[in-house]
Amino acid sequence: MENDVKEILISQDEIIAKVKELGQQISKDYSEDQELIVVGILKGAIIFLSDLVREINLPIALDFMAVSSYGSSTESSGAVRILKDLERDVENKHVLIVEDIVDTGLTLKYLLDNLHARKPASVKTCTLLDKPSRRLVDVTVNYNGFSIPDKFVVGYGLDYGETYRNLPYIAVLKPETYQ
89-112 pLDDT per residue, tens: 999 999 999 999 999 999 999 999
Q: What is the CATH number of the domain that holds 20?
A: 3.40.50.2020
Residue 15 has pLDDT above 60, yes or no: yes
Look at residue 179 and tell me if it is in a domain.
Answer: no
The helix (run of H) or strand (run of E) holding residue 7 is: strand 5-10
Per-residue pLDDT band at 78 (split at 50, 70, 90): low
Look at residue 144 and tell me if it is in a domain.
Answer: yes
Predicted pLDDT of residue 127:
98
Per-residue pLDDT band at 84 (split at 50, 70, 90): very high
Look at residue 124 and tell me if it is in a domain.
Answer: yes
User: What are the Cα distances from residue 78, in Å, to 21, 68, 101, 105, 164?
Assistant: 31, 9, 15, 9, 23
The model's pTM is 0.92
Q: How many domains would you assign to the chain? A: 1
What is the percentage of the chain residues whose pLDDT exceeds 70?
A: 95
Predicted pLDDT of residue 70:
54
Look at residue 165 and tell me if it is in a domain.
Answer: no
Per-residue pLDDT band at 77 (split at 50, 70, 90): low
> Residues 147-156: what's their mean pLDDT?
95
Q: Which of 51, 100, 103, 130 is catalytic?
A: 103
Give dist(CA 46, CA 3) in Å, integer.
24
Mean pLDDT for the chain overall = 93
Predicted pLDDT of residue 1:
78
Look at residue 174 and tell me if it is in a domain.
Answer: no
Look at residue 33 and tell me if it is in a domain.
Answer: yes
**87: domain range?**
12-150
Look at residue 157 and tell me if it is in a domain.
Answer: no
> Residues 132-150: what's their mean pLDDT?
95
Residue 10 has pLDDT above 70, yes or no: yes
> Residues 126-148: what's their mean pLDDT?
96
Active site residue 103: yes
Look at residue 58 and tell me if it is in a domain.
Answer: yes
Predicted pLDDT of residue 76:
54
Q: Which DSSP string do the residues of 36-93 spell out, in sequence order?
A: EEEEEEETTTHHHHHHHHTT--S-EEEEEEEEES-TTSSS--S--EEEE--SS--TTS
Residue 168 has pLDDT above 90, yes or no: yes
